[in-house]
Amino acid sequence: MLEIGTKAPAFTLPDQNGETHSLSDYLGKKVILYFYPKDNTAGCTKQACGFAERYPQIQEEGAVVLGVSKDSVRSHKNFETKYNLPFTLLSDPEHQVIEAYDAWKEKKNYGKVYMGIVRTTYLIDEEGVIVKAMDKVKAADNPQQMLEELQGTKA
């Protein structure tokens, strides 16, 4: 988990349309940067749709949402289209950014141990500094938690 108060690691990744995005593109805005395991899975769909539902309020708070997984650009495009997602999905197949944000960890499933993405969300302020860091987030609750964080209604 990256420390609150530290500069968010810089990155440049392609989105669902193949266009590149850098964290520096968003200076002056708050960024909800969330890492999720896989497009079109139950939890990830719940989380993405939760952010989509709250996106107008998130924008009102001067923030954007960037979702990151190791899925391909094409997979992200299909995911965006299927659920009408209004925000950017970034593709990190080499998991360089995922690792830089400490979201690539050992996981266990039915006794099998493997490396994968642990659902992690960061809130980055207008200057590119991490102001909130959450790991092992619950997919269904995370969008509302982040909206409350932006609105300052959560201590």
Instruction: Report the alpha-carbon distance of residue 50 to residue 98 in Å, rounded.
Output: 21
List active site positions: 44
Contacts of 134 (CB under 8 A, 6+ apart): 120, 121, 122, 142, 145
Maximum Cα interatomic distance, the chain, rounded to a whole number of Å: 45
Residue among 77, 84, 21 nearest 48 (CA): 84
Residue among 75, 78, 81 nearest 37 (CA): 75
Residue 113 in tokens: 């141990």
Burial of 46 (C-beta count, 10 Å sphere; 0-12/13-18/19+)? middle
Residue among 95, 151, 93, 87 nearest 120 (CA): 95
